[in-house]
Every structure is written in C-alpha cells, then in structure tokens.
Amino acid sequence: MKPDVKICGLSTPETLEAALSRGASHVGFVHFAKSPRHLDVEPMAEMVRLVAGRAETVIVTVDPDDTLIARFAEEVRPDWLQLHGKETPERVGEIKARTGLKVMKALPVAEAADLDAVAAYRGVADRILLDSKRPKGSNLPGGNGVSFDWTLLGALDRDLAYMLSGGIDAGNVAEALRVARPSGIDVSSGVESAPGIKDVGRINTFFDELDRIASQKGSKP
Ligand SMILES: O=C(O)c1ccccc1N[C@@H]1O[C@H](COP(=O)(O)O)[C@@H](O)[C@H]1O
C-alpha cells in the first residue's frame, strides 16, 4: 500500500504548495520557539487556510499547556496535533478529549527497549510516530535530521500502523521503506537547504524518488 507522506516544518506558501502539488498526504507546521521552523499561531493558521483541505494538517508541538492547545484548536483548526515532548498516555487522552483533534504521539527510539513505550500509547494516540532520539548537544526534540537503526522496528507488531521519521531524505527513503515498512514517512530536514529553509527542488527530488519506488513496485509480478 502507498505510504502516507508528511512533509513537516513548512513555513512558506511556495514550499507548502510544492508539497501539496506533489501529493503530500500530511503537511506539518512546528510551534516550538527554539526551532528554526517555529511558526506562531497566526501565521500557522494562515498556512492551514492555504491547505484548504488538500492534505491533513498537523501542528507539531512540545508539552503544550491547556491554553496553547485551546488556541490551536480554536484559531488554527488543524486535523492533527503531533506531540513531541514528554506527554504521558493520560495527557494524550486529555488533549484529545479537550480538542476533539487527532493526536500523533512521537516516541524517541535509539535501542530495542525504547519500543516498550509503544504499548502504553497504542489505542490512546491515533497514530504513533517513531523518531530518533535527540542527539547530544541539540536543543530540539525532533527535526535534527538524524536517523536511527531501522532494523529495530522488525520487533514491532506488523499490525501497528506507525509513521517513521528522523533523517529521512531522497537518498535513504527506499531503504527506510524496505527495512522499517512504516505506514507513513515524515520528512523535514531531508527537504531543506539549511536548517529551517525548505527547498522546492529538494521536495521535488524527494517525491521523484517516491514515484520511482512506486513504479518499481508496480512493475514486480
Ligand atoms: O522540526 C523541528 O524543528 C521540530 C521541533 C520540535 C519537535 C519536532 C520537530 N520536528 C519533527 O521531527 C521529526 C524528524 O525530523 P527530521 O526529518 O529528522 O528533520 C519530524 O516529525 C519533524 O516534524
């Protein structure tokens, strides 16, 4: 089945349009002050308006308080909140109940034991996103452009429909899909020319590679 493709950390109408025109299923906007991709609530609402239903919209946020989640729900009205902090399963359930929005919970993975956390969030979060752990020295919990050992994911229940992120780009997406078999992939740094600067050329190259992978699959008997 064709994987979902989320292009995350978009901040300009031009790059948003590139992602949408190439068929991104999800587009993401980051609200985290330390991020080079940070968007405040109002510009984020404008980006969501520009999407106009052509893809699912996702706000990426880190340990948001109730005031912030209310602003997201009322002023931005995305389809999803992506929680990239230390939100517990209880907090995920509470945020879902308060906003009525779908929630994608990001879990950091570096070793097999990190996958134990999946069980607690499965059935609470609408989707689980498996991402790399924050590298030493980084002040970002995501968007660091580093990948992890995807072979670890072979231990997951094959029925778990998760998104994979962390350092995916046009050069390794075929390998990511082959090894990890996620139901969706999430890309940010891999389509940038510099941290926080999305690049239309790289977005196109990434989707060209996905088209190439799909055509190879289609040609197999
Ligand atoms: O992109 C950010 O700056 C960011 C900040 C805070 C939390 C998450 C963030 N990004 C998310 O991290 C993953 C992986 O990104 P990458 O492809 O390795 O750059 C993705 O979901 C981003 O949206």
pLDDT of residue 149: 97
Ligand 1 centroid vs 190 CA: distance in angstroms? 10
- The alpha carbon of 141 and the centre of ligand 1 are apart by a number of angstroms equal to 7
Report the pLDDT value the prediction gives residue 43, as an integer from 0 to 100.
98
Using alpha carbons, list the distances in angstroms from residue 15 to 9, 24, 61, 87, 116.
Answer: 10, 12, 20, 30, 36
Task: Calculate the CA 108 to chain-centre distance.
Answer: 13
Pocket test for ligand 1, best of 188, 189, 202 (most atoms within 8 A of CB): 188
Q: For residue 54, what pLDDT is reported?
A: 98
> Which ligand 1 atom is the nearest neighbour of the CA of 168?
17
Q: Helix, strand or coil for residue 23?
A: coil
Each residue's pLDDT, cut to its tens digit, for the chain (221 residues) gives 789 999 999 999 999 999 999 999 999 999 999 999 999 999 999 999 999 999 999 999 999 999 999 999 999 999 999 999 999 999 999 999 999 999 999 999 999 999 999 999 999 999 999 999 999 999 999 999 999 999 999 999 989 999 999 999 999 999 999 999 999 999 999 999 999 999 999 999 999 999 999 998 776 54
Answer whether 143 contacts ligand 1 (Cβ < 6 A).
yes
Please tell me if the CB atom of residue 145 comes closer than 6 angstroms to any atom of ligand 1.
yes
At residue 219, the pLDDT reads: 60
Q: Which residues lie across from 107 on neighbouring strands?
A: 130
ipTM metric: 0.98
Q: Which two tokens stand for residue 66?
A: 């109730």
Kindly state the helix (H) or strand (E) to which residue 170 belongs, with its residue range.
Answer: none
Q: Which of 4, 65, 131, 186 is catalytic?
A: 131
Annotation marks residue 131 as catalytic:
yes
- Helix, strand, coil shares of the chain, percent, nearest 5, are 40, 25, 35
Report the interhelical angle of 41-51 vs 13-21 (nearest 10°). Answer: 30
Please tell me the predicted confidence (pLDDT) of residue 220: 53
- Predicted TM-score (pTM) of this structure: 0.96
Q: What is the pLDDT of residue 217?
A: 79
pLDDT tens profile 171-211: 999 999 999 999 999 999 999 999 999 999 999 999 999 99
Distance 67 CA to ligand 1 centre (A): 23
In order of their start, the domains of the chain are 4-219 (3.20.20.70)
Alpha helices, DSSP H, located in 169-219: 173-180, 200-219
Long-range contacts made by residues 209-212, C-beta under 8 angstroms, separation at least 24?
A: 209/170, 209/173, 209/174, 210/5, 210/173
CA of 147 to the centre of ligand 1 (A): 11
